[in-house]
Structures are given as structure tokens and as C-alpha cells.
Amino acid sequence: MGTAGHDRFEAVMRKCVSLGREAAASGNYGLGAMVVREGAVLGASGSGLVEGTDPTAHPEIVAIRTAAERAGSRYLPGAYLVTTLEPCPMCTAAAIWAKMGGIVYGAAQPDALRWAAEHPDPTFTWRQITMRAKDVVRAGRPLIELHEGVCREDCLALFPLTGFRSRKPGPDGRQAEGGGRPAAVARAR
């Protein structure tokens, strides 16, 4: 667990950030996840939670399901779940159940909790089960690697993009400030 080996995951994380931007532009959470093994992408997903009806369809779960189908096995040894936000207990457990090599994430759970407190939004709540991925990993078997904070700043930059398309325009037809995005970011767009 920690920051060793970040370099080998940065290119993949940047692809996850792109998936997160696409998801945000479509009116969803700005989150992206991929499952990779030996340089090959086995599964990838941006968030589609807002438009969907499956509460378990986090981008990490969708990417793991796709990877398992592609691999023809529920086990994904040597594969890594790479995601823009620290995975919830469900997604972390899914990586353990899949016997993956590890998890790599950018922004951390406290970042999402802080964002939610500072930018309340009835649709984009960023609600969390306050159990950190490292605690789930420690409790699970097999013990998998955990790489934290990879491209963290790039991943944090996705938060204010979340749900951009779903924001109601103001009286002048432009995106209204607030509604989950800080004024400086709203003006910069």
C-alpha cells in the first residue's frame, strides 16, 4: 500500500480520467475505471449511475464484470482495477473476490466527502460508506496491492465537472454557477 510504483499506472489513470470527463459531460458523476492486465485493457467504464437503475453499477463493478466476461473467468489474477476515486467497500471486495493483483486509485474517500460537504447537491451526493479501501483490503483474502493517490490532482479536477450537462441553465441561457461547481470553475468554463 502506498505510492511506490505510481509511474507504471499513470498512463492508465489518465485514460480513466478521460472516461470520467466523458461521464460528466453526459450528466453523470465524473468517475472512470479500467481493469488492465499486462498492458491490455480488459474492461473500462465511466459512471452511468444517474441514468441507470442498477445501484451496483459503479464504474469499477462494470469494468470488473466486462473484464471477467472477456477473460472467461470470474478470477482475474495479475489484473489491476484502476479508478479515479477510492473504491467503495463493494467495489474493493469485488476486486478481492476476483483475485485481482491490486487496486490503483487517484482521489480518496475523504476528498469526496469534503467535496460533498462543500457543494451539496440533491442528485450528486457523493455519499460514501465510511470504510476505507485499505481497511477492506487488509480484511480480505487474497491480500491484494493498493496504490493510492495516482494522478490525484487530475482525479480531483473531475469533481466540479460532475453532472455538468444536467445543470439547469440560468435565465441568460448560460450554466448557472453553483449547483455543485465552485464559482471560479463555473466562470472559467
Q: For 91-122, how does the pLDDT look when each residue is reduced to its tens digit (9 = 90+)?
A: 999 999 999 999 999 999 999 999 999 999 98
**C-alpha pair distances (Å), 62 with each of 2, 46, 56, 119, 127:** 25, 9, 9, 27, 19
Report whether pLDDT(61) > 80.
Answer: yes
Query: What pLDDT, in 10s, does the model give residues 123-172?
Result: 898 888 999 999 999 999 999 999 999 999 999 999 999 976 554 444 44
Percent of the chain with pLDDT over 70: 83
Q: Average model confidence (pLDDT) for the chain?
A: 87
Residue type for position 166: S
Query: What pLDDT, in 10s, does the model give residues 140-154?
Result: 999 999 999 999 999
Report whether pLDDT(56) > 60.
Answer: yes
Q: What is the pTM of this model?
A: 0.85
Q: Average pLDDT for residues 6-33, to the nearest whole number?
A: 95
The set of residues, in sequence order, having a beta carbon less than 8 Å from that of 136 and lying 6+ positions away, is: 89, 92, 93, 96
Q: 3-class SS at 170?
A: coil
d(CA 180, CA 149) in angstroms, rounded, equals: 23
Report whether pLDDT(179) > 50.
Answer: no
